[in-house]
Amino acid sequence: MKAKKTLKSARKVTLKHGPKQEKEKSAGAKIRTREKTPETRVAQNAKEGATNGYTAKDIYVLEGLEPVRKRPGMYIGSTGPSGLHHLIWEVVDNSIDEAMAGFATNIEVKLLRGGIVSVEDNGRGIPVDIHKQTKRSALETVMTTLHAGGKFGGESYKVSGGLHGVGVSVVNALSEWMQAEVCRDGGLYMQEYKRGRATAKVKKVGQCDRGGTKISFTPDKEVFATTEFDIKTILDHFREQAYLSKGLQIVLLDERGEVPMYYAYRFDGGLQSFVEYLNHDGSEVVHDNTFYVHKEHEEIDVETALNYNEGTETVELSFANNINTTDGGMHLTGFRSALTRTVNDYAKINNLFRKGDEALSGEDVREGLTAIVSVKLREPQFEGQTKARLGTPEARSAVEIVVGDGLRDFMETHPGDARAIVERSLLSARARVAAKAAKDTVLRKGALSGLTLPGKLADCQSGTKPEDAELFIVEGNSAGGSAKQARDRRNQAILPLRGKVLNAEKARIDKILANKEIVSLVVALGTAIADDFDLNKLRYHKIVIMTDADIDGAHIRTLLLTLFFRYFPKVIEGGYLYIALPPLYQITKGKEAHYAYNDAERDKILKSMKTQGTPNIQRYKGLGEMDAEQLWETTLDPAKRTMQQVTIDDAKEADRVFDILMGEDVVPRKRFIQVHAASVKNLDV
């Protein structure tokens, strides 16, 4: 979750990972069916003449290219930062497809000055012979024709990600300049393009003793709102792709600054390494060996890894042909079914259920779980244009069989790990039953049902539409009093909270409902909570957290953000949550008055005051120090106030950071503080 300038995603020191730097688990924790290294496989394919099977006849043309520049959002999602980075993903996806086909082991990406990006692989190289249908080089056909590529038929690619041949031509159409260099059949071939059109024919420019493709391009400033690439966004994506492509090395060289920065990812442990990475800052794991299985079932390649930790959150990532299926799909359904059935069967066979225990539900066996499911298959059926959900029915049965068989074998050969998994799930089940009973008791006592609005709430006028109504959550009665006097009663409501609210990261729903301050907030919102939550009943479409500009205010703001992130995420996703930015200083000289929101603004204002006399500087330690007029004109007046909208740009990263900063485990929090101590600003001690 990112509250613009308020909550910042954690930035890590990126390390180069190599095959010698990665610790492997015991062989018993892995179930492998493929032992060939990528280098061995590539050498064997080359020896058998596999390259000869990928020629111009394998390129299939469906339609032209012109619509891309007219409606770029249809092809890359947006012309903002996400669409800009999508250009890199599309080119890299083609190289990853070469790796999945067994013909590439290395991808090198460079960010050069002048906005140039280059992506180079050591695959087969795009064919350059004449295409029978277009009468042009296959390279030019691929680069300048929409829906032209080797992934619509034939045997050149058994599985592929990206946009299935759309990618590189779309990137070409949205680049002001592009150059393709191909090493193939002993020759080096080159062609240049301008906004999707070739500027000359493909020509041989030299000799080459290897295979591969290098694509260089400059995003078109006429299309994109910004052409500045974000290094963290790129590294996060490349790390994920390297985990999903076991043995593939992805290198990034950033030459935009004075000192070039080099990054490299290679993970021979695949998804097993991925799971361990996801847990390295989180709660302590509850079993020693990470479960891992990699097997093919009826031409569907299934790879899965999982382990359990002591936290209460569930992390499930699913991929189809290296595409992140954020909404899950058939493969994730098959995984969940196999997991629930296998854990229940093991517990029953080994008499681990107590008298009165119910069978474990899917919710029970997934609490504290970190799992990744990846499938690779021909012609995947995605639901929706964004490919967020896999709809291929065969993927469900393949994953269910592979994971079921593999997990059963793992639990039988690792009884200590198996018992830890079952006991972790049983603990979750018993806690769920106890929490439900406590919640029902609290609700019967009227924590929410039938309650009128809290007396401390100064509501806006009756009849105000939710889309016009604003709720300010204020720290303490003093600030609440000023805010009540300063507000516009027609559409602004004030809810003062006393003290620091309960830490929602450490509390279950029954504890949440027993907290008077949180209950007051829930009743004021009108949405109810947990299973009863209904966003349509939200009484205010602008909910503003307004706390003091000191360390206590920051803590209260963080606690409230944690509460909303854990129990009201749809309020954030709907764009209804904001953070008020009251000024830190009032600077006056005679009748002249200015407000400064940080030290830099204060210094700028002081420098601009050229009249005689010494300005008076008032540092606001709390909202209660402002009178009603000052609070209105700085923080409440829609015409003058400054607010930050809270958004969830990366829910998984936000979830991980909240676990670290607000969870029970002290060690990860201490490590996080040590890593980021040097970047702290405005420390209030």
d(CA 309, CA 278): 11
Query: Is 550 an annotated catalytic residue?
Result: yes
DSSP label at residue 626: S
Q: What does the buried/exposed string (b/e) look like for 203-215 if buried means 16 or more CB atoms within 10 Å of the residue's CB?
A: eeeeebeebbbbb
Q: Cβ distance 381 to 317 under 8 Å?
A: no
Q: Catalytic one among 129, 550, 633, 665?
A: 550
d(CA 685, CA 680): 12
Q: Tell how strand 315-320 and strand 369-376 pair up.
A: parallel
**Dihedral of the alpha carbons of 659, 661, 665, 668, in degrees to the nearest 10:** 100
d(CA 408, CA 345): 9
d(CA 27, CA 319): 25
Q: Cβ neighbours of residue 353 under 8 Å, at least 6 residues apart?
A: 347, 426
Q: Catalytic one among 129, 255, 405, 552?
A: 552
Q: Cβ distance 123 to 98 under 8 Å?
A: yes
Which amino acid is present at 153?
G
3-class DSSP state for residue 563?
A: helix
Q: Which residues lie across from 296 on neighbouring strands?
A: 301
CA angle 563, 478, 619 (to 5 degrees): 95
Q: What does the buried/exposed string (b/e) look like for 286-309 if buried means 16 or more CB atoms within 10 Å of the residue's CB?
A: bbebbbbbbbebeebbbbbbbbbb
CA angle 51, 60, 175 (to 5 degrees): 90
d(CA 288, CA 307): 9
Q: Cβ distance 122 to 271 under 8 Å?
A: no
Phi, psi of 627 (to 5 degrees): -80, 175
Identify the CA nearest to 212 among candidates 185, 174, 234, 244.
Answer: 185
Both tokens of residue 535?
């966003």
Q: Catalytic one among 120, 140, 276, 548?
A: 548
Which secondary structure element, helix H or strand E, spans residue 544, and what is its range?
strand 542-546
Place of tokens 């779980």: 369
Q: Cβ distance 123 to 139 under 8 Å?
A: no
Q: CA separation (Å) from 153 to 98, 104, 134, 379?
A: 15, 21, 17, 10
Q: Cβ neighbours of residue 630 under 8 Å, at least 6 residues apart?
A: 586
Identify the CA nearest to 72 among candidates 162, 152, 192, 172.
Answer: 172
Three state DSSP letters for 632-682: HHHHHCCCCCCEEEEECCCHHHHHHHHHHHHCCCHHHHHHHHHHHHHHCCC
Query: Is 394 an annotated catalytic residue?
Result: no
Q: Catalytic one among 281, 394, 475, 505?
A: 475
Identify the CA nearest to 484 among candidates 526, 509, 523, 455.
Answer: 455
Helices and strands (DSSP H and E) totals, the chain: 21, 28
Query: Is 316 an annotated catalytic residue?
Result: no
> Which residues are identified as catalytic?
475, 548, 550, 552
